[in-house]
Amino acid sequence: MSTITDNEKNTAPITRNRLLWVAGLGWLFDAMDVGILSFIIAALQQDWNLTTDQMGWIGSINSIGMAVGAFVFGIYADRVGRKKIFIITLLLFSLASGVSAFTTTLAAFMILRFFVGMGLGGELPVASTLVSESVPAKERGRVVVLLESFWAAGWLLAAIISYFVIPASEYGWRIALLITALPALYALYLRINLPDSPQFTAKKNVLRSVSVNIKDVWSKKYAKATLMLWIVWFMVVFSYYGMFLWLPSVMVLKGFTLIKSFQYVLIMTLAQLPGYFTAAWLIEKIGRKFVLVTYLFGTAASALAFGNAESLAMLITAGAFLSFFNLGAWGALYAYSPEQYPTVIRGTGTGMAASFGRIGGIFGPLLVGFMLTAGFGVNVIFAVFCAAIIIGALSVAFLGTETKQKELE
């Protein structure tokens, strides 16, 4: 049952809106950093004469950090609170991103990207858990998807910054990274103003060991939900980072200039916002499973169309649909994941699923680099991602249960 009191419900709209805005801006900064990285990889390839394998490793080292961060910070969110971990992770990725602007070697850049990834990987599941526990059941899914919609705004900012800043000078990518460090200042403001989850506050005296929490995530009661989440998280992250971190570079490989590729990716990114908003509306009207499965199948079809597109119009259209469906699915996944577990293991369960998913984010960018080096076409690469997304959709369809408007345990 929910632990929100009648008095808290009376003040919920103000608290909820403020929490959504505060957490959403943190999410926006996360997306801005990940989005800028996809453009920076294309710029570094020209600046540092990187091979396709090295380009793939930049994206993968970021995902390794995200896997570690999601696992570690997800576990400790159940011990020290959602608020503290949210702030720590926000500071970690902001400062590491800013420092990476001054690197002169690929090795140093990748080490710092690992720490950026740790902050990103820890912040995202913890923030969605915090918001899930702070709003009434009847609108919980919609609010979490709206939280995820800040990701689209962050990607748009990244695309705009990359388009105007990175090509402007030889220091363009460094300036872009410095801009991503601004959330560090915002994190200090959060420390004072962000409330913690009322459900965690009510349960904070229930001390459980990390090993017991991990064991409970795979207990008989939650094993089916955990298996489902691990499969869908792996497939979604594998395909997302494989496709979207390479998107500007793929456009260059298709014959467009760096500036033109940035411009076209910016146009495709605009479709993310309606993807989120339609998912936010449908998720409370029809349910989590329908939205997640439908949007994943839409992502798969769009990936196949993008990989086989031969004209500019088809590329942009398929890329826009890819952004629409994929990011709508992400919103549904973040709403769906925390609802599978009770308060005492919610951070652990969500963090472990996200952490396992980030392993997919390691292999996705590497696979693209390997397949390009081996001479495979873009159509074959995107067909692989299409198949992966279909597997994720089927796991939700057959293993998932509907959690629409259910009270959190």
Q: What is the rounded CA–CA span in Å between residue 332 and residue 349?
A: 17
Tell me which amino acid residue 135 is. Answer: V
Residue 330, SS3? helix
Which letter does DSSP use for residue 205 in this model? Answer: T
Q: Distance of alpha carbon 279 from its chain centroid, rounded?
A: 16
- Lowest-pLDDT choice from 177-186, 200-209, 364-373: 200-209
Tell the CATH superfamily of the 11-192+208-399 domain.
Answer: MFS general substrate transporter like domains (1.20.1250.20)
Between 196 and 302, residue with greater pLDDT: 302
In the numeric block, the tokens 């506050």 are attached to 201
Taking residue 156's Cβ as centre, other Cβ atoms within 10 Å add up to 19
So where are the chain's domains? 11-192+208-399
Please tell me the predicted confidence (pLDDT) of residue 171: 78
Res. 14: pLDDT tops 80: no
Please tell me the predicted confidence (pLDDT) of residue 409: 65
- Lowest-pLDDT choice from 67-71, 187-191, 272-276: 187-191
Q: What is the rounded CA–CA span in Å between residue 232 and residue 357?
A: 8
Sorting pLDDT into bands at 50, 70 and 90, what band is 1? very low
Residue 199, SS3? helix
Helix axes 12-47, 137-165, angle to 10 degrees: 30
Please tell me the predicted confidence (pLDDT) of residue 162: 81
In the predicted model, what is the mean pLDDT of residues 295-305?
97
pLDDT digits (tens, 9 = 90+) for 242-287: 888 787 777 777 777 766 777 787 788 788 889 888 988 898 889 8
Q: Is the dihedral of CA 237, 290, 150, 335 positive or negative?
A: negative
Tell me what the pLDDT averaged over the chain comes to.
Answer: 84
Q: What is the rounded CA–CA span in Å between residue 166 and residue 42?
A: 10
pLDDT digits (tens, 9 = 90+) for 349-399: 999 999 999 899 888 888 988 898 888 988 999 999 999 999 999 999 999
- CA angle, 341 then 24 then 141, to 5°: 40
Res. 77: pLDDT tops 80: yes
Taking residue 235's Cβ as centre, other Cβ atoms within 10 Å add up to 25
Res. 139: pLDDT tops 50: yes
| 274-309 CB burial, b ≥16 within 10 A, e <16 | bbbbbbbebbbeebbbbbbbbbbbbbbbbbbbbbeb
In the predicted model, what is the mean pLDDT of residues 101-118?
92
Residue 219, SS3? coil
Res. 9: pLDDT tops 60: no
In the numeric block, the tokens 């990244």 are attached to 158
Between 20 and 106, residue with greater pLDDT: 106
Return the closest-CA partner of residue 22 out of 131, 110, 117, 125: 131
Please tell me the predicted confidence (pLDDT) of residue 192: 67
Q: Is the dihedral of CA 228, 368, 263, 298 positive or negative?
A: negative
Which among 1-5, 27-31, 90-94, 350-354 has the top mean pLDDT? 350-354
Please tell me the predicted confidence (pLDDT) of residue 4: 41
